[in-house]
A and B are shown apart, each in its own frame.
Chain A
Amino acid sequence: MFKEKVKTSIIVVLIINLVMLTYQSWFKSGLLGPDWPYFSFSDLPLVRLFARDSFVSVPKENLSKPRKIVVNDGELWVPYYNTDDAFGNLDDNTGAIIKSLLSGNIEKTERIDYNSWLSLLARPGVYVEYPVRFEPRMLAMVLNTDFERLPSEIELISDAIIIPAFEDSVYVALRDADTNTSYKFLIKDGDISFPEEVLLMYTNKYRRDGYYEFAFNTLLSEGLGEGNVKVSDMVLFSDNEAVNRDIIGSNPIKGKNHGEILKSFSFNPKPLRYYTDGYGASNYVENYATVTIFPDGYIEYSAVESDKGINLGEYGANDYEILNRAIDFAEKVWSSVSNEPLSVLVSGIEKTEAGNRFVLDYYYGGREIAVEVAKEGREGLYHAIEIETSGSNIISYRQFLRSYTAASSTTRQEHFMLALDYFVGQFAYSENTVITDLYPGYFDYGQNTGVLKTTWLCEINNSEQRYPKK
C-alpha cells in the first residue's frame, strides 16, 4: 500500500514537472515567439482577421499630436510626451488655441526677432513642438480646422509658443522652421481660457520626474569644447537619470515566404520570377517595378517610371490626402507580415520635384527607435519607412521591417552631460556643427535582432540622421 502511494506521488511530481517544462519551452524560451518561423497562433487566418479589425491607425491618430509640449512656470520647464497621463488634456487645450490662430481669430500681428522669440520662451507659457514641419494649410487640415491667411514668411511650422495674455486672449508665437522668421499674434477668442496658474499645475502637480531647462537659459549654448560645436538654444538639459525598459527587436519576415509582401505591392507572386543577388536579396521584377527583399528585413519597391507606381487614388488629391493614403499603404504592407499595429509616427514631410517624401519612425513606449540600415547593395535608410510619391503614385517605398516588444531588463539612462561630452568629442573636428536635439531613445543598427537599450540620440544641423551615444 505504502509502495503504491510512493509510486503515485512520483508520477504526480513527474507530470507537474512535464507540464511546467513544456510551458517553459513553449512560452518562455521564444519557441512560439515572433522569431519562430513555422507556427504562430497569431498567424492563423481567423486570428489575423479579428486582430486587424480592432486596430486604430497609430500614425494617423498621432499625426495631429505634438512631439512634446513643454510647460514653463517662469523658472524651469517640464516636458510632456504622448505617453504621459496629463498630455491629452494639455494637447486638447493648446491644440484649441493653435486652431483658433489658424482659423483667423487674430487681433494683432507683430513680427519679432529671434531674441524676442527666446524671451517669449523664457516667459511663463507653453512650448509646442510638432514632429514634422507642416505647411500652415496642412497643419490646419491635420488639426481639422479652417485656414485663414498667415504672413507669407511663415512657410513651415514646426513649433509654437503660447503665453497667457488677458481673460479671453493669449499670445501665440510662430516661426518659420527654415528661416527663423518669427511672428507674435494676439488671439482673441471667447472659448479660450488660459490662466497662468495652469502652468504651475503642470510643472508641480502633474510632473512625473525632474525639471528641464532649454539650453539658452543655462547660458551654455555658445561654442563648446574647442568651440567648433554649438548646442542649439532649443535643446533641453536635464539632470534626470531615468530607468527605461529595454526592448527586443525581431525580424517579422524571418523564415517566411514573400508571397504576402509581394501581394501588398500588387505583384502576383505565382508566375513571378526572381533572382537572388550577391547580397542574398530576393529581387522580384514586373513590367514597371521591382521589389527587393533582403533577409534582414529591409525591403525596397521602386517604380521604373514616375507614372507607373502604386496608385493611391484619383489625381488631384491634396498633400494631406496623399499622406493619409501613403500611411494606409504602409499599414497594408505591414499587415502582410505582422498582426500587430504598425507602431510608427510620421517624422518628416518634404516637398520634392516630383511630389512628396514622407518618412516614418518606429516608436516604443513613447520613445523613438532610430534606425540605420547602411550596408552594401542598398542605399542607406535612416528611418523605419521612407515613401516617395509623384502625383498620386508611390514611386519608391523602403522599409526596415522590425517589430519590437518589451524585454524583462531595464537600463538606467546616463546623465545628459555625459552624452553632451560624447557628442562634442565626436564632432569636434567638423566645421559648423550645431547639436539641434539630444534626447533619450533606442537605436537599431539593423545588424541583428536582439535587445536594444535606451541611449542618447543626437540630431545635428536639423538633419534627419540620428547619431547614437556608443
Chain B
Amino acid sequence: MKKTIISVLLVFVFIMTASLSVFAHPLSVADGSQGTVSNLITIKKPDSAATSTVKTTYSITGVGNEGVSICIYTYNGTEFVPQKNGDDTVATYTIGSSGVFYRQIALKEGENRIMVRAEASDGTYQLSYLSITVVNNSVMTDINSFSLNMQSKLNGWLN
C-alpha cells in the first residue's frame, strides 16, 4: 500500500515537473549561444540575417510546426532578454494550425540585435539571430516636427 502511494506521488510529481519545463523560455540568453536543433522554424521575414529599415516597427514572420513556442529576444548590450507583456510576463506565442507566426517588434534607431527562440514540447530548441538596422530618415523628422516647408508641400492633404 505504502509503495503504491509513493509511486502515485512520484508519478504526480513527475507530471507536474514535466509540464512546468515545457516552453520555459529563459529570462536571459548569452550572446553566441546555440540551439539544440535547427529545424523547428524557418524565418521568412526578414529574408536575410541582416537587414535595414527606416521604421521603428518591424514584423518578423516564419513557418514551423504546430505547437512550437516562439519567443523574441532583444540584445541589451550584454545578453539577450525576452520581450515582455504588459503584466511583465515573458511574451510567447505558440504556432497554431496555420503553421505560421507573425509578430511586430519595436526597434530603436541604429542596429538592433534580435534573437528568435523556438522551443518544441520535447524541450529541443532553436536560436535564430537577426540584425535589423533602423536608418535615420530626415523626411520623417520633418513630418513629425511638421515643418513649414512640409506644410506648404502637403497643402490639400492635411487633415
Contacts and interface: CB of A to CB of B under 8 A. Distances in A.
Interface string A84-105: 0110011001000000000000
A200 B44 contact: no
Interface in B14-46: 44-45
Given A76-B55, A76-B57, A239-B102, A197 B153 contact: yes
B111 interface: no
A195 B154 contact: yes
Nearest to A239: B104
Contacts, number: 103
Interface string B120-159: 0000000000000000000110111010001001111111
B54 interface: yes
B76 interface: no
Contacts of B44: 218-220
Nearest to B103: A239
Nearest to B44: A219
A200 B101 CA distance: 27
B157 A93 contact: yes
Given A198-B157, A201-B143, A213 B97 contact: no
B159 A85 contact: yes
A206 B54 CA distance: 18
B96 A421 contact: yes
A82 to B, nearest CB: 14
B90 interface: no
A417 B101 contact: yes
A416 B102 contact: yes
B5 to A, nearest CB: 42
A466 B59 CA distance: 28
A198 B53 CA distance: 19
A148 B109 CA distance: 49
A198 B152 CA distance: 11
Nearest to B46: A219
Interface in B72-109: 93, 96-104
Interface in A201-217: 201, 204-206, 210-211, 213, 217
A455 B102 CA distance: 19
B53 A75 contact: yes
Nearest to B101: A417
A89 B45 contact: no
Interface in A413-450: 416-418, 420-422, 424-425, 428
Nearest to A204: B143
A236 to B, nearest CB: 11
A225 interface: yes
Contact of A424 (B47, B53, B98, B153): B98
Interface residues of A, number: 39
A217 B59 CA distance: 10
A224 interface: yes
A205 B143 contact: yes
Contacts of A343: none
Given A93-B157, A195-B154, A417-B93, A205 B146 contact: yes
B97 A425 contact: yes
A193 interface: yes
Which of B104, B140, B144, B155 neighbours the largest number of chain A CB atoms within 10 Å of its CB?
A: B104
A237 interface: yes
A53 B66 CA distance: 57
Given A200-B143, A428-B97, A193 B57 contact: no
A418 B100 CA distance: 11
Contacts of B143: 197, 200-201, 204-205
Which of B97, B104, B144 neighbours the largest number of chain A CB atoms within 10 Å of its CB?
A: B97
B86 to A, nearest CB: 11
Interface string A322-364: 0000000000000000000000000000000000000000000
A279 B148 CA distance: 68
B147 to A, nearest CB: 10
A85 B59 CA distance: 26
Contacts of A225: 66, 97-99
B150 A237 contact: no
B102 to A, nearest CB: 5
Nearest to A195: B153
A220 B63 contact: yes
A153 B100 CA distance: 36
A211 B104 contact: yes
B102 A201 contact: no
Contacts of B61: 218-220
Contacts of A85: 159
21 contacts: A86-B159, A89-B157, A89-B158, A193-B156, A193-B157, A195-B153, A195-B157, A197-B139, A200-B140, A200-B143, A204-B144, A205-B144, A211-B59, A218-B45, A219-B61, A225-B97, A237-B102, A239-B59, A416-B102, A421-B96, A424-B99
Q: Top 7 nearest A-B pairs by Cβ distance?
A: A421-B96, A219-B44, A425-B97, A239-B104, A424-B98, A75-B55, A86-B159
Given A237-B102, A239-B104, 10 more contacts: A193-B155, A197-B142, A210-B57, A219-B45, A220-B100, A224-B100, A225-B99, A239-B102, A420-B98, A428-B97
